[in-house]
Chain A
Amino acid sequence: MEVTVTVNGTAYERDVEPRKLLIHFLRDDLDLTGSHIGCDTGNCGACSIIVDGVLVKSCMLLAVQADGSEIETVEGLADGDRLTELQQAFSDHHALQCGYCTPGMLMSATALLRANASPSDEEIKKALQGNICRCTGYWNIFEAVKSVAR
């Protein structure tokens, strides 16, 4: 089936099988490998992206379901070498160890801060509950997000 999407401002049109998951479409068809596959069971959140303004796990959507949508992935955050304030905060607070969960953490935190620029500690934790860090480096991730909350 023909699928047309806009990813980080660039339009793409591809012919995809209905059985293809959106994460595979991004990584294999569009070569956007920033979004990771951690568990492939909907638990870990490493594949989190924003579709039409809504944070989702891209391993639980079919690519054909995204037809016509506007997608944001981790590649769309920085402007060249200029990191977003949140990305810089992750760096400053050592909020990544192995880095595997980071793209999903960044997208979840980005979605949170867009909806709520002044989240409480509880709201930050709840916003990140769908993202698992196998290094268990949660505290610095929390601190990084908190540091950019107004």
Chain B
Amino acid sequence: MLLREVEYVKPSSLADALAALAANDGARALAGGQTLINVMKARAASPDVLVDLNGLDELKGIELAADGTLSIGPMTTYAELVGSAEARARPILGEVCAQIADVQVRNRGTIGGNLCSNDPTNHLPPLMAAVGAELTIAGEDGERTVPASAFFLGVYMTAVQQGELLTRITVPAGKRDGFAAVTLGVDGTCIANAAASLDGSLRIALGCVDAVPVLVEAGSPDDVRAAVRAAKLDPPSDVHASGAYRAHLAEVLAERAARQAMR
């Protein structure tokens, strides 16, 4: 497929990348490209300028602090996270990244790209919401940090505004997490998914049922299905599942994720 004409820049510093994004309303950040290049083929997106982030070492890598906090560079690929010794401090992260798409996509696709594209069927938005991640966003005027619950704003929309970049994903210490999904084929696109984390009570984030992850709290796995019902979900229908079936899956998957977190 021939893409629409596009300019390409590959900055070597974060400041240059932010300047390039701020200079043109039609500029878009190119991370792993495993979504963006395809939506460009379909003309669903037609940026004027691609700002390739692959030269920015400051956006790569995973660090583990003494208190167990993980600091993840958004340009870390799924495969790098799966292979990271540091990331094992929060095992659910690698478990989920290992079930995204296929080897080739995991070799290129990035943690930051998955979060910033915020497709409602993506794996990582509900996971980051459940584990209580914080996202640091930088612009030319400085940076700010928002909780995952304030990061996802709508379908394909996040708190990252034009001219800004996600620069850091901070995941607090913890091990008692779970994730469950019904997918189109093994490791395929999610029809419905749920992530759960035990931190006093169970915090559960439901994916694929609304524009952004839906957060639900429950005291124990036995209460999860009632808590999901109380959220009065109204999921979209498509060729893969009716809204009613997705709402049913949300209950089932929330309980599965919760039981994994309680193990």
Contacts and interface: CB of A to CB of B under 8 A. Distances in A.
Contacts of A21: 1, 3, 37
A20 B8 CA distance: 11
A129 B6 contact: no
A45 B103 CA distance: 10
Interface class of chain A by DSSP: mixed
Contact of B5 (A19, A24, A48, A54): A19
Contacts of B105: 42, 57, 60, 130
Contact of B103 (A17, A62, A129): A129
B33 interface: yes
A21 B4 CA distance: 11
A48 B200 CA distance: 46
Given A41-B38, A45-B102, A56 B107 contact: yes
A55 B38 contact: no
Interface residue tally of chain B, by bracket? 20 to 34
A18 B5 CA distance: 8
Contact of A61 (B7, B108, B186): B108
Contact of A19 (B4, B33, B52, B102): B4
B129 to A, nearest CB: 26
Interface in A13-43: 17-21, 24, 40-42
Interface string A3-19: 00000000000000111
Interface of B: 1-8, 10, 33-34, 37-38, 41, 50, 52, 54, 101-105, 107-108, 186-187
9 contacts: A17-B5, A42-B34, A42-B105, A57-B104, A57-B108, A60-B108, A62-B50, A129-B102, A130-B103
Given A18-B7, A62-B50, A131-B102, 12 more contacts: A19-B2, A20-B3, A40-B1, A56-B104, A60-B33, A60-B37, A62-B37, A65-B52, A111-B103, A126-B103, A130-B104, A130-B105
Interface of A: 1, 17-21, 24, 40-42, 45, 48, 54-57, 59-62, 64-65, 108, 111-112, 126-127, 129-131
